[in-house]
């Protein structure tokens, strides 16, 4: 069997352009799909897929480890988030091909089943951009939390840490405490609440002020309390709080995760399968985490193929904790990709179809062509004009 071509399909979903990757083979009707979505870098990722394709066209798609090694080593330059996202989409598609070739679901090839269902969480508004990033007052926050719970979810994540520089003003800290207290009172102790800091605090002191404000309401974890790469800062935070810390969505190299894990800086790591190199690399990262007693909760606010890949990863990974999803990002989320995602009482069910178990409706994809993403990041400006982390 040989790879005969690699193509991309771009699907605009308002805040994101989903980048679907299709790997073709010389066997009739046998192809695979992956996803390489990277916000605000769509055309760069599509170009990277085109640049990488000649390295593996003509190779056997079943030799997944070798294909990834070729793309990384024979590219010469370190690939960064753009190149690693391109590799991730291609690699996912190779697993889809392998599963279809053997007639088994991908999770079976990743080591088999370690759980019977997968716990998931969503965002306020089920992923609607404005609900996720612009719910900063008590009444709409509580209303949207109730709506998520009524949909059957047993956990959700909220983003209500304000844009912050090196100092967390007391009124902001007090407001965060009130918002979290209102959420916990609204949904009770049975529902898990995660709070995404988005790396907004620029200092340990600022992050700690917000974490202390959240602590009485017992969040499941706080995500990205500091900008990515600040391992020393995370270690200092971990020493001063009992609230579990999570990070990793913007790390793309396994070595970055090894450094983080070696420092004992977090309780949960969050690799994004669409950015870290694909399913094989995510499994290796998870194994490193398991060895030091750290759980894995993969980042996944992306498109439907990414969601299905995360499902297969979760079914087969022992230290998987909970899975992020955003199936409400757009009303037509399930129209472009028919797949095995089915939630029952807050849990995704285990898929049984061969490969990833998806069918991509390319005509439906074409109805949502590329468009520049909403630059919501431009809102991250302090009152004095200082640009900060979104």
Q: Which residues participate in catalysis according to the annotation?
A: 198, 299
Q: Cα separation of 91 and 100, whole Å?
A: 14
- How far is 271 from 275, CA to CA, in rounded Å? 8
Which residue in the block uniquely carries the two structure tokens 């716990």? 119
Q: Which residues of 193-231 are buried (b: 16+ CB within 10 A; e: fewer)?
A: bbbbbbbbbbbbebbbbbbbbbeebebbbbbbbbbbebb
Question: In whole angstroms, what is the distance from residue 296 CA to residue 334 CA?
Answer: 26
Expressed in percent and rounded to 5, the helix, strand and coil fractions of the chain are: 40, 15, 40
Tell me the two tokens of residue 150.
């009524």
Record the tokens describing residue 311, joined without a space. 């499902």
Task: Return d(Cα 84, Cα 275) in angstroms, integer.
Answer: 6
Q: What one-character-per-residue DSSP string does 20-81 give? A: EEEEEESSTT-EEEEE---TT-HHHHHHHHHHHHHHHTTS-TT-HHHHHHHHHHTT-S--HH
Interatomic CA distance for residues 126 and 202, integer angstroms = 28
């Amino acid at each position: 069997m040989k790879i005969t071509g690699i193509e991309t399909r771009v699907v605009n979903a308002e805040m994101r352009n989903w980048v679907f990757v299709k790997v073709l083979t010389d066997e009739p009707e046998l192809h695979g799909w992956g996803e390489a979505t990277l916000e605000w870098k769509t055309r760069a990722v599509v170009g990277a897929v085109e640049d990488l394709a000649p390295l593996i066209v003509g190779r056997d798609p079943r030799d997944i480890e070798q294909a990834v090694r070729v793309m990384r080593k024979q590219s010469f330059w370190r690939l960064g988030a753009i190149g690693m996202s391109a590799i991730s989409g291609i690699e996912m598609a190779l697993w889809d091909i392998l599963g279809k070739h053997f007639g088994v679901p991908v999770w079976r090839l990743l080591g088999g089943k370690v759980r019977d269902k997968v716990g998931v969480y969503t965002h306020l508004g089920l992923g609607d951009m404005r609900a996720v990033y612009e719910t900063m007052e008590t009444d709409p926050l509580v209303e949207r939390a109730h709506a998520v719970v009524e949909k059957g979810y047993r956990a959700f994540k909220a983003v209500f840490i304000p844009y912050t520089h090196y100092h967390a003003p007391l009124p902001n800290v007090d407001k965060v405490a009130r918002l979290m207290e209102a959420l916990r009172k609204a949904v009770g102790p049975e529902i898990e609440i995660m709070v995404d800091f988005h790396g907004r605090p620029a200092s340990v002191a600022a992050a700690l002020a917000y974490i202390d404000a959240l602590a009485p309401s017992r969040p499941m974890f706080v995500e990205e309390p500091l900008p990515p790469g600040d391992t020393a800062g995370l270690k200092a935070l971990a020493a001063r709080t009992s609230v579990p810390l999570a990070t990793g969505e913007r790390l793309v190299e396994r070595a970055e995760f090894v450094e983080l894990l070696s420092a004992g800086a977090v309780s949960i790591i969050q690799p994004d399968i669409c950015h870290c190199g694909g399913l094989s690399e995510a499994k290796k990262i998870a194994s490193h985490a398991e060895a030091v007693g750290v759980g894995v909760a993969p980042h996944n606010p992306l498109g439907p193929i990414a969601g299905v890949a995360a499902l297969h990863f979760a079914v087969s990974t022992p230290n998987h904790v909970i899975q992020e999803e955003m199936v409400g990002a757009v009303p037509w989320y399930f129209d472009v990709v028919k797949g095995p995602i089915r939630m029952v009482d807050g849990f995704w069910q285990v898929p049984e179809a061969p490969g990833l178990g998806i069918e991509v409706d390319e005509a439906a994809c074409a109805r949502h062509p590329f468009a520049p993403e909403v630059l919501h990041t431009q809102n991250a400006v302090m009152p004095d004009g200082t640009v900060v982390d979104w």
